[in-house]
Amino acid sequence: MRKHTKLAIGLLGVPLMAASGFAWSTEGLRLEGYGAVSRAMGGTALAQDVGVAGMMVNPATLSMAPEGRRFSLGADVITADIVNEDLTTGEQVRSSDRGQNRGPYVAPQIGYTVNRGDWAFGVGAFALGGLGTEYGSDSFLSDGTSGTATGLENSSRLLVVDIPFALSFRVNESLSIGATVDAVWSGMNLNLLLGANQVGSLIADGRVSGSLLGTLATLPALDGAHLSFTREHPLSSGADAWGVSGRLGLSWRASDNTRVGAAYNFGTRLNDLQGDAVLTAVDLVAGQIPIKGHVEITDFQMPASLGFGVTHELRDHWRVSLDVSRVFWRDVLKDIHVGFTSDGGDDLNLVVPQNYKDQTIVAVGSAYSIGDWVLRAGYRHGTEVVPDRDLFVTLPVTPTRILSTGFSYRLSTRSQIDFAYSHNLEIDRSNPQNTNTGNPVRTTESQDNFVLNYALNF
């Protein structure tokens, strides 16, 4: 499977090569919009033509394009600033200045569409979402429950790449319908230290099982357990899997100035993520005991979503958009199931609580045309996804309020550049529990993200 993964992603070409350092947390695990046009308008895309990236939200919008072909090439640039503070000791660690893969991070966007008569076809490759952190090996996150330094890394990287094959049909002058069938690849890197008190909490909750549990119990002074499956490689991860997804959409012109859109995005059907791993038992007497083996993350999926949108032309050169979406996180991330099997056949199974909640997202955007320029702005607000008690500092999913702006500039009658800047307003949350954190931890996070596309019509 890993051989096929490298080959398939390699066929996507140079744009995906830029994703080697991709690691951030966004709206849950998802990006807050696809393509610079949508991102600059708060991620709105359900009831307007946002270019080839429309196939990632509502494929019916592809029918809004004129006869011909469109090609777009671009990238997301993500800069996240995450600070974690141990509320017991006062120690702090910042993600932005630690580790080998610290930001800014880059993710791909490439797409191609053809409009012929009443039909539109498209194919692309986009980063569907991801998250990540780099805390290095010398912060309080790398200390065992006793406070003893372990020198072990704490980091994460999740990349989900969506490859949609889109189709849209213009039923009449007012109504278009569309659909996609998507190939989806997900790759995860993880270095995670659980203190002995965290392991004890998981055991007490019935969330740990397997023959290796007895082995850990025989150690004289267990101080923690570290799980690592990471590959420093631009086109692969420590554990990965392929799967499928898809979406259905419609676009309806309610009047000369108003268009309504709706879309349902199916949740992914990914195989279990698998890869080589090392489980290290950290003991104050026996030292560090690494155990090589295989890791499997069971049924780790991206959620389904349902959205409705409306775009209204206030004047010939000015339009506003509103999208409302519901993302069904609760169906896919109640727990994270991690299984480890040693080369000798012993196993350890962890069920890590997450208790994600369904998320409601409201996005508004505006675009104003003046000469060769289109100026855009927007705002996006989402409800919180994960409860405070289940926050993981290596799996942050905190941003909920996003301001955005951007522009398009027409280079010629056939080409233009699109740019967007979005700022995830700082959010401050604390986890008071000791299952997902050794001590109570306060997390603050903000982001400055950019999108740049080149679009060609021919």
Q: What is the pLDDT of residues 78-116, one digit of tens each?
A: 777 888 888 888 888 887 655 444 456 677 799 999 999
Q: What is the pLDDT of residues 326-365, one digit of tens each?
A: 999 999 989 999 999 999 999 999 998 888 899 999 999 9
- Rounded to whole angstroms, how far apart are CA atoms 285 and 47? 63
Global pTM?
A: 0.88
How many domains does the chain divide into?
A: 1
Q: What is the pLDDT of residues 215-238, one digit of tens each?
A: 888 899 999 999 999 887 656 789
Q: Is residue 155 a contact partner of residue 190, using CB atoms and an 8 Å limit?
A: yes
Average pLDDT over residues 419-445: 83
Residues 6+ apart with CB under 8 A from 66: 115, 457
Q: Is residue 43 a contact partner of residue 323, using CB atoms and an 8 Å limit?
A: yes
- Rounded to whole angstroms, how far apart are CA atoms 35 and 38? 6
**Distances in Å between the alpha carbon of 349 and those of 49, 68, 143, 283, 346?**
47, 53, 23, 20, 10
Helix (H) or strand (E) holding 399, with range, is none
Q: What is the pLDDT of residues 368-381, one digit of tens each?
A: 999 999 999 999 99
Element counts in the chain: helices (H) and strands (E): 5, 22
Extract the tokens encoding 423. Answer: 């700022």
**Distances in Å between the alpha carbon of 180 and those of 104, 129, 170, 213?**
31, 18, 15, 45
Q: What is the pLDDT of residues 129-170, one digit of tens each?
A: 877 788 888 889 899 999 999 999 988 888 899 999 999 999
**3-state SS track over 315-368:** ECCEEEEEEEEEECHHHCCCEEEEEEEECCCCEEEEEEECCCCCEEEEEEEEEE
User: Domain holding 180: CATH number?
Assistant: 2.40.160.60
Band of residue 390 on the pLDDT scale cut at 50, 70, 90: confident
- Rounded to whole angstroms, how far apart are CA atoms 103 and 394? 15
> Residue 29's pLDDT is what?
78
Could you list the residue range(s) of the whole structural domain that residue 91 is in?
Answer: 2-457
- Residue count of the chain: 458
Q: Taking the CA atoms of the chain, what radius of gyration do you get in angstroms?
A: 23
pLDDT tops 50 at residue 20: no
